[in-house]
């Protein structure tokens, strides 16, 4: 079973290939964008049939070799990555037209994909560090592709945050290794014991990962980076990159730390999540640029992810909360990338994204705006959409345990999301007879955004299948 290794290596090979032979870069990229999802599908079938699989790369055993591990959760993350990156690849082909940025975009893009896949498949905490670092570096480089002064300073800040976060994580890894003599997540789960060093390790790792996933109040770096990056990059940053560090935190929490950590830690994370929801939404409500609005919406939505900690600590609804949290990850990935792509098409067409000046664009780019609207349905959490399923699971988890205050928070968050989305739409739908200069948007750009938005919608109907996949191999 070498499929996991191929899922990591194919984009990596493509990265090398696109760099060495730039003339065929686009075709290499598209080839990868078609083949990788297929491999993920096969891996998913394998896991649904036989449960989690482990693989030693090159045959080296645990302490020395690289261990790959795949269960239902990894496959779900790989799958959503394949869908999102696959779609954006087609978008990017039209977005970057023949200049320098296109030349560097493709190798970095493929590299980023490879890093993400490796991250979701890693079975030990040091490899996770390596992939996290690779991911951070390629993401920073992609932000800098915008080449504007704003983008460069945002990229610089992003780089510093990313390095600090990884370093903090690495110190935690060192502590765990010193205490337990192993790096494998599986082995750590069985050998770990409550001790000051494990608590410190958790604190360091959690701090690093929280910083990288931009949880309030460590979100300061996210809005400029996501709003100033080129649209395909913004989409993937919001949809996947911030989720990657959240994913690591989840894994560690689930397997290693949950029994040792003071329950109030979970509540604290929930409170920070609440702060993110309120603060992010309010900032989105006053943002003057469309992409900034969307970036602040990401800040808010990350808050929802962290509600998973307090909700899963309610005994009766533990499982529901986990499913809800990861359903959030999946549907937000589709919805947010669709929204960013649509916003990117607006910029592509009009050269700016100042909300006040976007009168009546529903008429000018109906497909993109439809995609934006459809994805917003999921972001707000209205049915039928993946976002609704996630919120429903959360509400269910909270109410079953009688923790109604989280429900109030979730509903307030939804109403705020409605407000910021419709603030934009009440511009977009208004009528203005004036003629604005616009550059025609290639149809692929509009329809890939719609495709992703439809994925978010479809997630609202296939929850039984998805939750079965998430449960495969018992990650929770």
Partner 1 sequence: MTFDNWLPLLILLTSLLPGIVIFVLPEERVRWRTTLNMGGAILKLGLIGIMIWGVRHEHVYDFRMPILPNIELVLNADAMSVMMTALSGVLWFLTTLYAIAYLETSPQSRSRFFGFFSLCVSSTVGIALAGNLITFIMFYEMLTLTTYPLVVFRGTPESMRAGRIYIAYTFGGGAAFLIGVAWLKALVGSVAFTEGGMLAPYVGAYATQLRFIFFLMISGLGVKAALVPLHGWLPKAMVAPAPVSALLHAVAVVKAGAFGIVRVVYDVYGIEFSGELGLLQPLTAAAAFTIIYGSVRALFQDELKKRLAFSTVSQVSYIALGVGILGPIATIGGIVHLVNQGLMKITLFFCAGNFAETLGVHHISHMNGIGRRMPWTMAAFTLGSLGMIGVPPMAGFISKWYLGTGGLTAGKPWVIAILVASSLLNAAYFLPIIYRAWFREPAGSWSARPSIGALETHWMLLFPPLITALLALLAGLLADAPFSPLEWARLITAREYRP
> Should residue 426 be labelled a site residue for partner 1 when binding is judged by CB under 8 A?
yes
> Should residue 429 be labelled a site residue for partner 1 when binding is judged by CB under 8 A?
yes
Residue ranges of E strands in 285-428? none
CB neighbour class for 366 (10 Å; exposed up to 12, middle 13-18, buried from 19): exposed
How many positions of this chain bind partner 1 (CB under 8 A)? Answer: 37
Shortest distance in whole angstroms from residue 369 CB to partner 1: 10
Q: Tokens for 312, please give them.
A: 């899963």
Question: Of the two residues 218 and 419, which places its CB atom closer to partner 1 in the complex?
Answer: 419
Shortest distance in whole angstroms from residue 247 CB to partner 1: 23
Question: How far is it, in rounded angstroms, from Cα 210 to Cα 228?
Answer: 22
Question: Of the two residues 242 and 463, which places its CB atom closer to partner 1 in the complex?
Answer: 463
> Should residue 363 be labelled a site residue for partner 1 when binding is judged by CB under 8 A?
yes
Q: Which of 158, 340, 392, 476 binds partner 1 (CB under 8 A)?
A: 392
In terms of phi and psi (left: phi > 0; alpha: psi -120 to 50; beta: otherwise), the region of 256 is alpha
Three-state DSSP at 68 gives strand
Selected range binding partner 1 among 28-36, 126-134, 180-188, 369-377, rule: CB under 8 A: 369-377
> Should residue 193 be labelled a site residue for partner 1 when binding is judged by CB under 8 A?
no
Shortest distance in whole angstroms from residue 425 CB to partner 1: 8
Q: Is the dihedral of CA 461, 466, 471, 472 positive or negative?
A: positive
CB neighbour class for 364 (10 Å; exposed up to 12, middle 13-18, buried from 19): middle
Number of Cβ within a 10 Å radius of residue 23 = 7
Question: How far is it, in rounded angstroms, from Cα 77 to Cα 128?
Answer: 15
Question: Of the two residues 147 and 426, which places its CB atom closer to partner 1 in the complex?
Answer: 426
Selected range binding partner 1 among 116-124, 270-278, 331-339, 426-434, rule: CB under 8 A: 426-434
Q: Which of 163, 407, 436, 444 binds partner 1 (CB under 8 A)?
A: 407
Shortest distance in whole angstroms from residue 251 CB to partner 1: 23
Q: How far is CA 181 from CA 100, 189, 330, in A?
A: 47, 12, 35
> Should residue 325 be labelled a site residue for partner 1 when binding is judged by CB under 8 A?
no
Task: Kindly provide the b/e burial profile for residues 302-339, where b requires at least 16 CB atoms within 10 angstroms of the residue's own CB.
Answer: bbbbbbbbbbbbbeebbebbbbbbbbbbbbbbbbbbbb
> Should residue 425 be labelled a site residue for partner 1 when binding is judged by CB under 8 A?
yes
- The answer to whether 240 and 280 are in contact (CB under 8 A) is no
Shortest distance in whole angstroms from residue 418 CB to partner 1: 5
Question: Of the two residues 48 and 189, which places its CB atom closer to partner 1 in the complex?
Answer: 48
Shortest distance in whole angstroms from residue 403 CB to partner 1: 11
Closest CA to 213 of 271, 151, 169: 169
Number of Cβ within a 10 Å radius of residue 76 = 24
> Should residue 399 be labelled a site residue for partner 1 when binding is judged by CB under 8 A?
yes
Question: How far is it, in rounded angstroms, from Cα 349 to Cα 402?
Answer: 49
Shortest distance in whole angstroms from residue 442 CB to partner 1: 17
DSSP labels, 186-235: HHHHHH----HHHHHHHHHHHHHHHHHTT-TTS-TTHHHHHHHS-HHHHH
Shortest distance in whole angstroms from residue 461 CB to partner 1: 6
> Should residue 389 be labelled a site residue for partner 1 when binding is judged by CB under 8 A?
yes
Q: Tokens for 330, please give them.
A: 């999946």
> Should residue 461 be labelled a site residue for partner 1 when binding is judged by CB under 8 A?
yes
> Should residue 260 be labelled a site residue for partner 1 when binding is judged by CB under 8 A?
no
> Should residue 460 be labelled a site residue for partner 1 when binding is judged by CB under 8 A?
yes
> Should residue 334 be labelled a site residue for partner 1 when binding is judged by CB under 8 A?
no
Closest CA to 115 of 217, 9, 17: 9
Question: How far is it, in rounded angstroms, from Cα 431 to Cα 165?
Answer: 47
> Should residue 411 be labelled a site residue for partner 1 when binding is judged by CB under 8 A?
yes
Mask for 95-134, x = binds partner 1 (CB under 8 A): ----------------------------------------
Selected range binding partner 1 among 34-42, 60-68, 250-258, 407-415, rule: CB under 8 A: 407-415
Residues that bind partner 1 (CB under 8 A): 360, 362-363, 366, 370, 373, 377, 382-384, 388-389, 392-393, 395-396, 399-400, 407, 411, 414-415, 418-419, 422, 425-426, 429-433, 460-461, 463-464, 467
């Amino acid at each position: 079973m070498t499929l996991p290794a191929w899922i990591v290596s194919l984009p990596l090979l493509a990265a090398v290939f696109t760099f060495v032979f730039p003339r065929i870069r686009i075709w290499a990229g598209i080839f990868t964008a078609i083949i990788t999802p297929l491999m993920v599908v096969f891996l998913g079938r394998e896991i649904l049939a036989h449960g989690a699989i482990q693989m030693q790369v090159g045959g080296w055993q645990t302490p020395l070799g690289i261990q790959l591990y795949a269960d239902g959760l990894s496959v779900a993350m790989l799958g959503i990555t394949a869908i999102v990156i696959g779609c954006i690849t087609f978008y990017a082909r039209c977005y970057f037209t023949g200049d320098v940025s296109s030349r560097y975009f493709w190798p970095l893009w493929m590299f980023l994909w490879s890093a993400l896949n490796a991250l979701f498949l890693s079975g030990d905490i040091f490899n996770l560090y390596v992939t996290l670092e690779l991911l951070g570096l390629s993401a920073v480089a992609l932000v800098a592709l915008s080449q504007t002064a704003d983008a460069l300073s945002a990229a610089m800040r992003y780089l510093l945050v990313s390095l600090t976060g990884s370093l903090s994580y690495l110190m935690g890894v060192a502590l765990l290794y010193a205490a337990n003599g192993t790096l494998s997540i599986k082995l750590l789960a069985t050998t770990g014991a409550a001790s000051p060093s494990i608590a410190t390790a958790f604190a360091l790792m959690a701090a690093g990962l929280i910083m990288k996933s931009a949880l309030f109040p460590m979100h300061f770096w996210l809005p400029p980076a996501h709003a100033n990056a080129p649209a395909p990059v913004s989409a993937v940053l919001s949809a996947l990159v911030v989720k990657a560090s959240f994913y690591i935190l989840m894994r560690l929490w689930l397997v290693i730390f949950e029994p040792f950590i003071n329950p109030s830690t979970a509540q604290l994370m929930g409170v920070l999540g609440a702060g993110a929801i309120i603060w992010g939404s309010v900032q989105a409500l006053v943002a003057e640029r469309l992409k900034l609005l969307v970036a602040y919406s990401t800040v808010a939505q990350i808050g929802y992810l962290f509600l998973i900690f307090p909700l899963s600590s309610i005994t009766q609804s533990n499982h529901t909360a986990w499913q809800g949290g990861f359903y959030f990850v999946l549907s937000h990935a589709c919805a947010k990338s669709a929204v960013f792509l649509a916003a990117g098409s607006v910029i592509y067409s009009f050269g700016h994204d100042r909300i006040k000046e976007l009168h009546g664009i529903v008429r000018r780019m109906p497909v993109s705006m439809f995609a934006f609207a459809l994805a917003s349905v999921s972001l707000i959490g209205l049915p039928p959409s993946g976002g609704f399923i996630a919120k429903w699971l959360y509400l269910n988890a909270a109410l079953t345990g009688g923790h109604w205050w989280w429900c109030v928070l979730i509903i307030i968050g939804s109403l705020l999301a409605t407000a910021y989305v419709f603030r934009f739409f009440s511009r977009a739908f208004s009528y203005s007879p004036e003629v604005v200069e616009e550059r025609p948007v290639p149809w692929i750009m509009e329809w890939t955004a719609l495709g992703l938005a439809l994925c978010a919608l479809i997630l609202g109907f296939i929850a039984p299948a998805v939750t079965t996949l998430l449960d495969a191999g018992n990650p929770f």
